[in-house]
Structure 1
Amino acid sequence: MTHTEYHRLPAHQLGWADAEVVVHGHYGRPVLWFPSEGGSPHDFAGNGILDSVRGAVDDGRIKVYCVPSYDATSWSANHKPLADRARAHLAYDDWVVWTLAPAIREHSGRRADIATAGTSMGAFHAALFALRHPHVFPQAVAMSGSYDPRGWHAWGEPSDEVYACNPMQFVPGWYGEHLDWVRRSARLTVVVGSGQWEDTTGANHSTQLLAEQLRDKGIPHDLFVWGHEWPHDWPSWRAQSAMYLPALG
């Protein structure tokens, strides 16, 4: 029987009294799971990802922390200019780094090797947090992500906030000591299928473009492009999670 706990953490940064965190597992490397667009902490189990990695969870290799999305206020709020959406995301960034991550460390025996993972919009979050904060999240598994918010019904003026949230902008600008630090600290696994909706969502092209940027900067990463029988959908992500999440433990 998989051990599951339900917690609530303060979330004033998000304008919420608190936020639910669902934890699957009793021991193992902590893995922070970001849901797909607009998702909830219950989607990891509800969409079958837990079943696909249950062996690794029950064996104590990984311990999965599932959180709510903030997309409705940030990236999915298409009525806002992109700069405002990015500012909203940075509030989520603040909550994840300063409230959630310390709670995960405390709950997991003070482990300092929290990995991130997610699918679709969750993949964007997984990669972004690992790249922005590799000292907190040194490893990521990102499946079927799109990594350039400028392509998400964007409008309005460019801003520092958008730049700070866009790996397709900030990674090419890294040089010197900061780049050396990221090279030492981070490792990303980026995965995408070649089937239905992976092209129309832009995920296939964006994933390969992110991998090119990481390669050009010498940032450790693995790129896995699955075949045309793997669409932008849960059956693909269950299979991919079964392959790549247990390897984090």
Structure 2
Amino acid sequence: MHEEYRRFYSQHLGLDMEMLVVGDYGYPLIVFPTSNGRYYEAKDFHLVDSVRWFVENRLLKLICIDSGDKWSWYAKHLHPGTRVHNHGLYDRMVSEELVPRLQQECQVDKVGVAGCSLGGYQALNFAFRHPNQVAHMFSMGAAFDIKMFLDGHYDEQAYFHNPPDYMPNAQDANFHQMNIILGTAEHDFCKDANYRMSEILLRKGIPHRLDVRPHGTHDWPVWRDMFPEYVSTIF
């Protein structure tokens, strides 16, 4: 598979963002890493290999990016309000800097997003905050309530990055056109969070798929099994 290391300076973050682009042509799918993960994580844990067929047949281009967790959700040395603010800058980097590049490069109106564990939160939160930019959203083994990272702090910024809170009130026609898959497993400790998110979407009449695998836990083998099946729904 064609691989290309890229970096660009983010005006919002004030630093270089690194990424691994897998594939030289195809539909762009941004892959968010797990907690504190790096851009090479999806390759190292063979998530990239699980969709090799789509990449080699020039249907799919993976954009594996760095997380911003070390200065946001996991930055325990910072005030919780600052953590949320920093995540907001990361969100703007993706929305206002990365996605426009991909729209132009790949000649698409909307991109896809995916992620495992906390990366699944990142994918879903980004998709639901920017439904005009996202056509496909795949979360695997994710939970979606970020209040656990905020030590009791809660403000307007936190609300608008906490999908279980803002989604019941969100209105956008693009939600109903989005391909949404919530993936979990019977013994995944995040399973209940996926049921709760599915209930929110059901109450709003937003089409989606809740995929609960009968075996498996919160781990890469389950996610590697899910990922190619989910990717196939793009085409």
Shorter-chain TM range is over 0.9
8 Å Cα contact 1:13-1:95 kept in structure 2: yes
Change (3 A) 1:194 1:82: farther
Alignment of 1:139-158 (within 5 A): 139-152=136-149, 154-158=150-154
1:136 aligns with 2:136: no
TM-score between both structures, scaled by the size of structure 2: 0.94
Amino acid at match of 2:39: P
Q: Which residue of 1 aligns with 2:109?
A: 112
- 1:72 counterpart SS class: helix
**d(CA) in 2 for partners of 1:139, 1:64:** 13
Question: How much does 1:185 deviate?
Answer: 4.1
**d(CA) in 2 for partners of 1:100, 1:74:** 19
8 Å Cα contact 1:34-1:66 kept in structure 2: yes
Alignment of 1:229-244 (within 5 A): 229-244=215-230
**d(CA) in 2 for partners of 1:127, 1:183:** 12
Alignment of 1:29-40 (within 5 A): 29-40=27-38
1:186 aligns with 2:172: no
8 Å Cα contact 2:180-2:209 kept in structure 1: yes
**d(CA) in 2 for partners of 1:92, 1:185:** 25
1:50 aligns with 2:48: yes
**What 5-or-longer segments of structure 1 have no aligned partner?**
none
RMSD: 1.5
**d(CA) in 1 for partners of 2:225, 2:210:** 16
TM-score between both structures, scaled by the size of structure 1: 0.89
Deviations 1:117-164 (A, max 9, x none): 000010001111111101111220000111000133x32432000001
8 Å Cα contact 1:10-1:99 kept in structure 2: no
Which of 67, 70, 82 does residue 68 from structure 2 map onto?
Answer: 70
Which of 84, 87, 93 does residue 89 from structure 1 map onto?
Answer: 87
Question: How much does 1:81 deviate?
Answer: 4.1
More displaced stretch, 5-14 vs 119-128: 5-14
Change (3 A) 1:183 1:101: closer
Count of paired positions: 235
Question: How much does 1:101 deviate?
Answer: 0.5
Question: How much does 1:173 deviate?
Answer: 1.9
Question: How much does 1:6 deviate?
Answer: 1.4
**What 5-or-longer segments of structure 2 have no aligned partner?**
none
- 1:183 counterpart SS class: helix
Deviations 1:177-210 (A, max 9, x none): xx24243443311000122xx22xxx11111111
Q: Which residue of 2 aligns with 1:220?
A: 207
- 1:145 counterpart SS class: coil
Q: Which residue of 2 aligns with 1:15?
A: 14
